[in-house]
Amino acid sequence: MEINIAVKALAALAQESRLAVYRLLVEAGPEGIPAGKIGEALGIAPSSLSFHLKELAHAGLVTSRQESRFVIYSANFAQMNALLSFMTENCCGGAPCGPDCSTACPHVEGDHS
């Protein structure tokens, strides 16, 4: 992952409404939720929500599919995994590290992609 992509993904999550939307979509899983339901659940105006969803989608964190009149959004877990890997890359220079670190750094427990 390139740093600009990571920055874009983090910026997409660094906003209260968008983070709430993303967490809702994580909870919903692969089935996703239609845009209207998201706005209803979180109390976000349609035009604001559209702006935020576009931001999340452009960052690759969510995907959308059209289903009849509804646009259904869902979390892109692969992108989140890539982001997490990028942030903890080469943790502690590859040396064994304590429990706090090892939780954040997948390389300690096994392969490090």
Partner DNA sequence: CTTATATTTCGAATATTATTGAAATATGGA
Partner DNA sequence: TCCATATTTCAATAATATTCGAAATATAAG
Chain positions contacting DNA, by CB under 7 A: 11, 14-18, 34-37, 39, 44-55, 64, 66, 68-72
Please state, in angstroms and rounded to a whole number, the distance separating the CA atoms of residues 19 and 60.
Answer: 14
Site map for its own copies, 68-97, x if CB under 8 A?
A: ---------xx-xx--x-xxxxxxxx-x-x
Contacting residues for 78 by C-beta, under 8 A, at least 6 apart: none
Residue 48 contacts its own copies per CB under 8 A: no
Of DNA, its own copies, none, which one does residue 27 interact with (CB within 5 to 8 Å by kind)?
Answer: its own copies
**Contact yes or no for 35/50 (Cβ under 8 A):** yes
Query: Residue 86 class from Cβ within 10 Å (0-12 exposed, 13-18 middle, 19+ buried)?
Result: middle
CA distance to 7, 51, 62, 77, 95, per residue, from 91 (Å) = 19, 35, 27, 22, 8
CA 23 to chain centre: 8
Per CB under 8 A, contacts with its own copies among 2-21 are: 3-4, 6-7, 10-11, 13-16, 19-20
Q: Name which of 55 and 76 has its Cβ closer to DNA.
A: 55
| Contact residues for its own copies, defined by CB under 8 A | 3-4, 6-7, 10-11, 13-16, 19-20, 22-23, 26-30, 77-78, 80-81, 84, 86-93, 95, 97-98, 100-101, 103-106
